[in-house]
Amino acid sequence: MDSPTRFTLTEHSSTYWRVTFDNPPVNLVDSTMTGELDAVFTRAEQSGVAVIVFDSADPEFFIAHYDLSAKEELDHVLAHPEEVHPYTALLTRLSKLPMATIASIRGIARGAGSEFLLATDMRFGSREKAVIGQFEIGMSAIPGGGPATRLPALVGRGRTFEILLGGLDMDGDLAERYGYLNRAFPDAELDGFVDELASRIASFDLQTIKDIKHFVNVATLRPDGEFKDQMDAFWAAVNRPAQQHVARHLFEAGLQQRGELERDLPHWVTRYQYRTGADA
């Protein structure tokens, strides 16, 4: 495979790999990142990798969210409703990979960032620096990457509604208590714990890891069709005046640029809510 441009791939050993997101200015998910991750997954499956850790080179942003600037992507999605969106397919594939997957979260993981970590097997975060949430309701959209399906098994029905309808961030401490994270650690201890756990898993028999994942997946994964429906609903929302109204104002104020808006996005979206008769 070609060298990735949206992250670095470090092969600590033949069985332990690390993907470190590095897509300035705020680690957005886009079609290029999706394709490059898909290629890594294919290579990992062919190489007998036992564990992949995902982290970020940017201490402020794990993954900010999906790139909302690509109009041609919206046009394609609306013209081909029968297709499964590549990011939906990627997250479904991520949850079913035969190796263990671990997200090590330091910085902001909102929207597609939260959805990515929810598709991994295990999630560990910095108590002081992890910021996790689904802000999409503030943009008059449903989250597209499947949190309505994945969150209830982790946090319960009521807390899922709190996360998706409130659209607020959680720090590492609260995310741990809710079950959004497996565990939160003091920031100075996060990397050491994740590396030790990943190294331990990488030392075990690969077929046994595959078997454990298979049976846990049978007991826990929901039908793939639920994820397509959520992504379709997200792109339908992007095509409506309410979402376009909020998005236009946010882009004018600095969306997808490094600054206070991206650092405090759940509060910025409340400034530009669409109302009937508003200037859209």
What's the pLDDT tens digit per position in 210-269? 999 999 999 999 999 899 999 999 999 999 999 999 999 999 999 999 999 999 999 999
Residue 218 included in any domain: no
Q: How far apart are CA 4 and CA 21, in angstroms?
A: 10
Residue 153's region, left for phi above 0, alpha for psi from -120 to 50, else beta, is: alpha
pLDDT per residue as tens digits for the range 147-196: 999 999 999 999 999 999 999 999 999 999 999 999 999 999 999 999 99
User: Could you give the number of structural domains in the chain?
Assistant: 1
* CATH code (residue 66): 3.90.226.10
Domain housing 145: 7-202
Residue 88 included in any domain: yes
Residue 280 included in any domain: no
pTM of the prediction?
0.95
Residue 263 included in any domain: no
| Residues in the chain, overall count | 280
Q: How far apart are CA 199 and CA 259, in angstroms?
A: 36
Residue 54 included in any domain: yes
Residue 273 included in any domain: no
Residue 70 confidence (pLDDT): 80
Residue 277 confidence (pLDDT): 53
Tokens (6 digits) for 218: 């049978």
Residue 134 included in any domain: yes
Q: How confident is the model at residue 280 (pLDDT cuts 50, 70, 90)?
A: very low
Residue 186 confidence (pLDDT): 98
Query: Is the per-residue pLDDT at 78 higher than 90?
Result: no
Residue 238 included in any domain: no
Q: What is the average per-residue pLDDT within 66-89?
A: 91
